[in-house]
Amino acid sequence: ARPDQVPMRKRQLPASFWEEPRPA
Amino acid sequence: TSWPGSHIGTETLRLVEFTAFVERQSERDTCKQQHRFVHIDPTPTSEPPLEMVDVRQIYDKFPEKGGGLRDLYDQGPPQAFFLVKFWADLSFSLLEEELGGTGGAFYGVSSRYEGPRALTLSCTSKVCSFGKQVVEKLETAEPPHWEDGRFVFRMQRSPLCEYLINFIRKLQTLPEKLMMDSVLENFTILQVLRDQETQELLLCVAFVFEVSASERGAQHHIYRLGRD
C-alpha cells in the first residue's frame, strides 16, 4: 500500500505518540 | 553552547516557547481572556532526551515535491528536524456574535527562540491538508535582543490566517473527539526557520494533532526526526 493509504495508527511510531501526557 | 537533547533546538537556535491562542475582551471585565489551543513551555533541563521518529513515516503528511519534507531532510542538517504531536485544547465556547465572524476575537500565534548568533530569523509556515499545502505564510522575527548571554528572537501575536480560524471553528462543531481526531489525521503544519541572509536551515518542525481530553488542557510530545 502507498504510505498515504496507511492510517497513522498502523505506522511505526513510538507508543508515546498515542499517549496524551498528563498535565504537569 | 550545546543544548541538552530534550527540546526543539540545535547549537544555533532553540525554540523556547510556542502558543496558538484566541483572545477576546470579557464583557464584565476590562482585561482580555486568552484560551490556548496549543502551547510549548520553556523546557526544564531535567527532561529525558527525545525519542526519535523515522521521518519516512510522515513524508506523505507534508508536501512531497519542490521543497517538501523529504527534500528538506535530504539537504539537512538532520539535527535540526523535529516532530511535535499536539493534543489541542478546543474546550472553549464560541459566543453568539462570534459565530458569523470573529466578533472581535483575536486568533494568534506567539513564539520565542534563542541562540548564540545575531541573525535575521525568517519563518515559513505551511498548512497542509492530506499532505498538500493549502496556506503558506512567511514571517520575519523581530530583531533579536541580547538577554542573559544569548540572543532572543520573538514573533509575537502573529494573526492566524482565515483558513485556520475557519478550520478550528468547523472542528469544534463536530460532536465527538474521535471525529475531530479523524479530521486532524490529515491536517499538519510544517515550519521552517532560516537565517534570512544565508538561507541556512536552522530548524524544521513538523506539527501533527489530536484533540485533548477536555479536562486536561493542551498537551504535547516532542520527537527528533531521523532516518536510519
Comparing alpha-carbon positions, the chain A residue that sits nearest to B215 is A23
Candidates A15, A2, A24; CA nearest to B44 is A24
Report the residue of B36, B40, B209, B219 to disrupt the A interface, i.e. the one with the largest count of A CBs within 10 Å.
Answer: B219
For the sheet with B219-226, list strands across it.
B51-54, B219-226, B81-88, B201-211, B187-195, B121-129, B132-140
Peptide linkage before B77 cis (omega within 30 of 0)? yes
pLDDT bucket at B2, cuts 50 / 70 / 90? very low
Distance CA B151, CA B168 (A): 34
Distance CA B152, CA B141 (A): 10
Phi, psi of B60 (to 5 degrees): -75, -5
Q: Which of A13, A19, A23 sits opposite B53 (nearest CB)?
A: A13
Put simply, the answer to whether B57 touches A23 (Cβ < 8 Å) is no
Candidates B206, B109, B122, B205; CA nearest to B161 is B109
ipTM: 0.87
Of B28-37, B53-62, B166-175, least confident by mean pLDDT is B28-37
Please check the confidence at residue B181 and state whether its pLDDT lies above 60. Answer: yes
H or E stretch covering B70: helix B69-75
Query: How far B220 CA lies from chain A's nearest CA (Å)?
Result: 7
Candidates B172, B175, B169, B171; CA nearest to B185 is B171
Of B1-15, B81-95, B105-119, B131-145, least confident by mean pLDDT is B1-15
Q: What is the mean pLDDT of chain B?
A: 89
Q: Determine the average pLDDT of the residues in B180-201.
A: 96
* Residues belonging to chain A with any Cβ–Cβ distance to chain B shorter than 8 Å: 2-4, 7-8, 11-14, 16-17, 19-23
Q: Which residues pair with B121 in a beta bridge?
A: B195
- Hunting for cell 489530536 — which residue is that? B210
Report the residue of A2, A4, A6, A18 to disrupt the B interface, i.e. the one with the largest count of B CBs within 10 Å.
Answer: A4
pLDDT value at position A1?
Answer: 44
Q: Which residues pair with B51 in a beta bridge?
A: B223
Q: Determine the average pLDDT of the residues in B124-145.
A: 95
Put simply, the answer to whether A12 touches B54 (Cβ < 8 Å) is yes
Distance CA B87, CA B47 (A): 19
Put simply, the answer to whether A20 touches B57 (Cβ < 8 Å) is no
Of B27-36, B71-80, B82-91, least confident by mean pLDDT is B27-36
Put simply, the answer to whether A4 touches B87 (Cβ < 8 Å) is no
Greater pLDDT, B93 or B82: B82
